[in-house]
Amino acid sequence: MFSHLHIKKLTRCLTLTLALGSAALSHAAVMNPGKLTVGSDLTFPPYEYLEGKTPAGFDIEFMNGVAAAMKLQPTYVDTRFTSLIPGLQAKRFELIASALFITPERQKVIDLVPYLKTGESLIALSSSSFKPKKPEELCGHKVGSMQGTYWLEKLHTLSTDYCVKQGLKPIQVSEYATDPQTTQALLSHAVEVQMTDAAVASQVVAKMKGRLEVTSDTLLYPVLVGLGVSKTNPEFKQQLIDGIAAYKASGQYATLLQKYSLAEPDDADIQALKQ
Q: Give the pLDDT confidence of 38-48 residue by residue, as tens digits.
A: 999 999 999 99
Residue 27 has pLDDT above 70, yes or no: no
| Averaged pLDDT, 218-247 | 95
Selection from 40, 36, 37, 72 nearest residue 55 by Cα: 40
pLDDT, tens digit, 9 for 90 and up, residues 159-190: 999 999 999 999 999 999 999 999 999 999 99
Where residue 30 falls among pLDDT bands split at 50, 70, 90? confident
- Ordered structural domains, the chain, with CATH: 33-118+223-273 (3.40.190.10), 119-221 (3.40.190.10)
pLDDT, tens digit, 9 for 90 and up, residues 71-106: 999 999 999 999 999 999 999 999 999 999 999 999
Residue 216 has pLDDT above 70, yes or no: yes
Give the global pTM: 0.76
